[in-house]
Chain A
Amino acid sequence: AQSVTQLDSQVPVFEEAPVELRCNYSSSVSVYLFWYVQYPNQGLQLLLKYLSGSTLVKGINGFEAEFNKSQTSFHLRKPSVHISDTAEYFCAVDANNQGGKLIFGQGTELSVKP
């Protein structure tokens, strides 16, 4: 069965510092990968996705992620974070073409401090 592991449950960082949120998945077939963000008291919204093509994917709010097939990773990065990036971030992988199902990681809480 497919699974997604987010290696850090909490990441504290100072404003304007770079950040990397790590995500590893297990799959023996082609995958589609997603990062979602959840701001306090809101639902999830899509940050970026990898379906095919270039392994470096750019998303909203200055975030980007790199698909690494050999490492089965899809880490999320931002070169300089803002206070407003404080949120919970979820990595997700498709469940092998099962009608749109996604498998989500446990989430990473990003806390940006002034």
Chain B
Amino acid sequence: DVKVTQSSRYLVKRTGEKVFLECVQDMDHENMFWYRQDPGLGLRLIYFSYDVKMKEKGDIPEGYSVSREKKERFSLILESASTNQTSMYLCASSPLLQAAATDTQYFGPGTRLTVL
């Protein structure tokens, strides 16, 4: 079974703090993704990566950065946390296919971040 783990289930931080969210997958997947989930808005893509040291902006990258130094690990960084970044953060991974560019994404359990 594919396993995607996230470093924390719940996190409380103060405004202005630097926040690191870690995600690790064990299936040697090329693609990794960071989403935020807010009620009524579904999942919105923050950043994704299709290879080590490669990253691309998603739909809402402002206020976030990412790091992928190893294939299995994808980190989301909030440089200076703000209250409007209070949300559920979900990490996902998927294989990169030759014929079809899209296949199942496997999700971690999520990190509920509260910024006070």
B12 part of interface (Cβ distance < 8 Å): no
Interface secondary structure of A, over-half rule: loop
Residues of A within 8 A of B102 (CB): 32, 51, 94-95, 97, 100-102
Asked if residues A100 and B103 are in contact (CB atoms below 8 Å), the reply is yes
| Shortest distance between the CB of B34 and any CB in chain A (Å) | 12
Q: Hey, what's the 0/1 contact readout for A11-37 against B, CB within 8 Å counting as 1? A: 000000000000000000000101010
Asked if residues A100 and B4 are in contact (CB atoms below 8 Å), the reply is no
Residues of A within 8 A of B43 (CB): 44, 90, 104
| Shortest distance between the CB of B26 and any CB in chain A (Å) | 15
Contact of B90 among A43, A49, A51, A106 (CB under 8 A): A43
Residues of A within 8 A of B101 (CB): 94, 97-100
B74 part of interface (Cβ distance < 8 Å): no
Asked if residues A43 and B105 are in contact (CB atoms below 8 Å), the reply is no
Query: What range describes how many residues of A lie at the interface?
Result: 20 to 34
Residues of B within 8 A of A36 (CB): 107
Cβ-closest chain B residue relative to A108: B42
B75 part of interface (Cβ distance < 8 Å): no
| Shortest distance between the CB of B106 and any CB in chain A (Å) | 8
Query: What range describes how many residues of B lie at the interface?
Result: 20 to 34
Asked if residues A101 and B103 are in contact (CB atoms below 8 Å), the reply is no
Contact of B42 among A32, A51, A95, A105 (CB under 8 A): A105
Quick one: which of A34, A44, A46 has the most chain B CB within 10 A?
A44
Q: Hey, what's the 0/1 contact readout for B82-102 against A, CB within 8 Å counting as 1? A: 000000001010101000111
Residues of B within 8 A of A41 (CB): 109
A71 and B18 CA atoms in complex are apart in Å by 46
A51 and B35 CA atoms in complex are apart in Å by 23
New A-B contacts (9) at CB < 8 Å, excluding given A43-B109, A44-B90, A107-B42: A32-B100, A42-B110, A98-B101, A99-B56, A100-B31, A100-B33, A100-B103, A101-B45, A102-B105
| A interface list, Cβ under 8 A from B | 6, 9, 32, 34, 36, 41-46, 49, 51, 90, 94-95, 97-102, 104-107
Enumerate the 4 nearest inter-chain pairs by beta-carbon distance, A residue then B residue, closest first: A43-B107, A94-B102, A97-B101, A104-B43
